[in-house]
Amino acid sequence: MIEIINLTKKYGSFTALNNLNLTIEKGSVFGFVGPNGAGKTTTFSILATLLAPTSGTAYVNGYDVTKDPKQVRKHIGYMPDFFGVYDQFKVHEYLDFYGASYGVPSKERQAIIPQLLELVNLTDKKDSYVDLLSRGMKQRLCLARSLIHDPEVLILDEPASGLDPRARIEMRGILQELKNMEKTIIISSHILPELSEMCDYLGIIEHGNLIASGNVNQIQSQLQANKILFVSVKQDIDNAIAFFENDLNVQLVERDDKDEQLLHVSYEGSDDDQVQLLKKAITKDIPILTFSQKQSNLEDIFMEITKGEE
């Protein structure tokens, strides 16, 4: 499990990470989303003991990254956003080297390396030189590498970047398997829909601030200032428009381009208010045919909240 407490990182006067607080339970997959420069890599580097925070701290499996980095390293598998490979190594030698560097005994390495290659689908590349692998293959090899010492926590910085659609789906499968193995995973990406499929929980970060976190639904309600209600009425559409425009929580009422009877109501009230609104409409004899809420796309919301603050 990972606990991030008041984590702040400043580069000179620039705040890359502002008082971040986050708890990731054991066995869950947490997705970290944000635009370029939001502070994802900064957070991950601190968790991987590669960067000292300016203040605050983080605990990995109960070990403080600022006080006990050696123990933290034992418990994490880290995959950086950009990484190189020793070009003269063959795939199995590459894994063997890191296994040895993590202190995995030779016998265990011999046993686990074929399993890892199997997991990331690189068994037939066992004897290739690593620099001859394609980018996506290197990415998968790096993931296998981060698992060599069987860490409980995985810190994966954009593991899916550079993967083709098929490999992305495979990556999702691998993550699912790792999740079944009770590993705690924190993963970053720019692409919200992709993450929301892979992760149990999401955190949205921007300019070093965590602006929303929770499961997908919670995020939606946290981020969505106003929901769109679709209301269709049988007749008297002008009357209906007047009614909705009268409500304090309604910001805008628009008619649909195609459907004569359909209204788009921008609404910012709570769920309870929404119930009351419908009740009131019915008592006012507005002939409501359907009343529904627009399922808005997470990506739209993400684009909405991260725009214009540059």
Partner 1 sequence: MERFFTLFINPVLNKEIKLRFRSFKSFLGIFFYLAICGLVSLAFIYIESTFGYGGFNATDSRNLFMVLAIGQLGLVTFMTPGLTAGAISGEREMQTLNILLTTQQSSTSIVLSKLFSSLAFLVLMLFASLPLYSIVFLYGGVSPSMVVITFGFQLLSMFTIGSLGVMFSTIIRKTMIATITTYAMMLFFLVGTLILFVISLRFSMAYNPGSVSGGNEYLPYLFIMLNPIVTLFTIYEPSAFSYELQATGIEWPLWSGFVISYFLIAIVALIISIRRLRPSMKVKTRKKKE
Ligand X SMILES: Nc1ncnc2c1ncn2[C@@H]1O[C@H](COP(=O)(O)OP(=O)(O)OP(=O)(O)O)[C@@H](O)[C@H]1O
How far apart are the C-alpha atoms of 147 and 108, rounded to whole Å?
13
**Residue 49 or 196 with smaller CB distance to partner 1:** 49
Letter for the amino acid at 286? Answer: I
Tokens 């983080």 locate to 58
How far apart are the C-alpha atoms of 209 and 213, rounded to whole Å?
11
**Span of 55-63, 67-75, 79-87, 94-102 interacting with Mg ion by CB under 5 A:** 79-87
**Span of 39-47, 131-139, 162-170, 259-267 interacting with ligand X by CB under 6 A:** 39-47
40 is a contact residue toward ligand X (CB under 6 A) = yes
Query: What residues between 217 and 276 interact with ligand X by CB under 6 A?
Result: none
16 is a contact residue toward ligand X (CB under 6 A) = yes
150 is a contact residue toward Mg ion (CB under 5 A) = no
CB atoms within 10 A of CB 95: 26
Token pair for 97:
């080297």
95 is a contact residue toward ligand X (CB under 6 A) = no
Q: Establish how many alpha carbons lie within 13 A of residue 149's alpha carbon, considering only the half-sphere containing its beta carbon.
A: 20
Which spans of this chain sit near partner 1 (rule: CB under 8 A)? Answer: 48-57, 65-67, 69-70, 73-74, 76, 78, 80, 82-86, 88-89, 97-98, 100-103, 142, 145, 149
The sign one gets for the Cα dihedral 40, 43, 48, 53 is: positive
Residues in contact with 47: Cβ distance below 8 Å, sequence separation at least 6, in sequence order = 2, 4, 58, 60, 65, 72, 76, 155, 186
180 is a contact residue toward ligand X (CB under 6 A) = no
**Residue 102 or 230 with smaller CB distance to partner 1:** 102
**Residue 42 or 196 with smaller CB distance to Mg ion:** 42
Token pair for 290:
């359907």
DSSP 205: E
How far apart are the C-alpha atoms of 136 and 168, rounded to whole Å?
10
Query: What residues between 65 and 84 interact with ligand X by CB under 6 A?
Result: 81
CB of 245 to Mg ion, least distance (A): 45
Query: What residues between 28 and 47 interact with Mg ion by CB under 5 A?
Result: 40-41
Binding site for Mg ion (CB under 5 A): 40-41, 81
Binding site for ligand X (CB under 6 A): 11, 14, 16, 34, 36-42, 81, 190
